[in-house]
Amino acid sequence: MLTSQKTPDNLIKTLEGGVLYNACSIHQLKNYGECFPGTNVSIRVNPGLGSGGTNRTNTGGPASSFGIWYEQLAEALNIAEDYNLNINRVHTHIGSGSDPEVWKKVAGMSLEIVARCLNEGNCVEVLNLGGGYKVGRMTGDSFTNLQECGDPVVEAFKSFKDRTGKKLKLEIEPGTYLVANAGAVIAEVIDGKSTPGYKFIISDSGMTEVTRPALYGAQHPITVIPFDTIEEAEDYIVTGKCCESGDILTPAPGDSEGLRTRRLAKAQIDDLVVIGGSGAYCAGMSAKNYNSYPEAPEVLIDLNEQAHLIRKRQTLDQIIENEVIVV
């Protein structure tokens, strides 16, 4: 199912290929109705409340552009009626928060949106409560307690059935929760520098592979693996290789402009730097080709602990192949 801020360039061709569509704005819903009148459609609604680890991982509430604002639901329902659309799925998404009370409240708000759709003659079958679930990447970090968040949601669905007679299917999107800690970036120390305030490890990774720290002060576990046995440890700021002051892998928690040193093994050039928690929102969200650095290769370790190259390192020719030289 396609959930996007951008309407596909060829909506008809995309959906005729078997893709389900989640209309995320009034414009998208009207566009869909013009192309596919008399069909089922899903709508994403901003319920008016969100919850994120930081403001930049909050995808609900008045500061978020995602979805149809809940106060505009009447307009969306009118468009559905104009094009004889049946809203068969409602989607909300609050962000990466883990407060059970917020989940309970948003579930109730989302069910009320479903009720309004049902009252207008739509046959809603599914409520997708989206995500996300906070993942503990660092030692001591907390994970979302799925049972704690899920129990009141289950009760809300049961209560809705008792009240309306409608049994809804619940969909969730747990991808990050499942894979975040299933990946790591293996980099090298390529240089070391110091100022009166800090010692720096310069790695050959950074925002070109792991953008989360630069975006919103996200924390990833980092380990220096020396080639020589060194028992000493020092306090470091770890940076990437880009000519960009924001290319920092050790920001202050939740503050992309702040710095927080890490106690790491004393690093020498060519030592390895392992950046953990990189299985989600890293390769797919990287600052690809910034400063013309090639995309990193990817290796999959299977259940038999065998390594498989699943993406080759990008070449310079591939980076520039779409550039056109005008003579």
What is the residue extent of each domain of the chain? 2-178, 183-293
pLDDT at 250: 97
Neighbouring C-alpha atoms within 13 Å toward the C-beta of 213: 31
Q: What DSSP string describes 23-77? A: E-SHHHHHHHHHHSTTSEEEEEEE-S----SSGGGB-SSTT--SSEEGGGHHHHH
Strands (E), the chain: 2-3, 21-23, 40-46, 68-69, 86-91, 126-128, 169-171, 185-194, 199-203, 222-225, 233-239, 251-252, 255-259, 262-265, 272-275, 298-301, 307-311
pLDDT at 95: 65
Beta-sheet pairing, 233-239 with 262-265:
antiparallel
Distance CA 314, CA 6 (A): 27
Distance CA 216, CA 81 (A): 41
C-beta of residue 247 within 8 angstroms of C-beta of residue 237: no
pLDDT at 113: 95
Kindly state the tokens that stand for 312: 């080759």
Catalytic (active-site) positions: 243
The structure's pTM equals: 0.87
Digits of tens for pLDDT over the chain (327 positions)?
999 988 888 999 999 989 999 999 999 999 999 999 999 999 999 987 655 544 444 445 556 678 999 999 999 999 999 999 999 999 998 766 667 788 888 889 999 999 999 999 999 999 999 877 888 899 988 888 889 888 989 999 999 999 999 999 999 888 888 999 999 999 999 999 999 999 999 999 999 999 999 998 999 999 999 988 777 999 999 999 999 999 999 999 988 899 999 999 999 999 999 999 999 999 989 898 999 999 999 999 999 999 999 999 999 999 999 999 898
pLDDT at 49: 62
pLDDT at 56: 43
Kindly state the tokens that stand for 251: 């920001």
Q: Which residues contact 91 (CB under 8 A, 6 or more apart)?
A: 3, 22, 42, 43, 44, 45, 67, 127, 128, 130
Distance CA 267, CA 188 (A): 10
Nearest to 39 by CA among 73, 4, 89: 89
pLDDT at 57: 45
C-beta of residue 202 within 8 angstroms of C-beta of residue 242: no
The DSSP symbol for 305 reads S
Class of domain 183-293: mainly beta
CATH superfamily of 2-178: Alanine racemase (3.20.20.10)
C-beta of residue 111 within 8 angstroms of C-beta of residue 156: yes
Distance CA 290, CA 292 (A): 5
The SS3 assignment for 97 reads: coil
Q: What DSSP string describes 252-284? A: ETTEEEEE--EEEEPP-TT-EEEE-S-SSSSGG
C-alpha angle 143-147-150 in degrees, rounded to nearest 5: 105
Cα 2 to chain centroid, rounded: 15
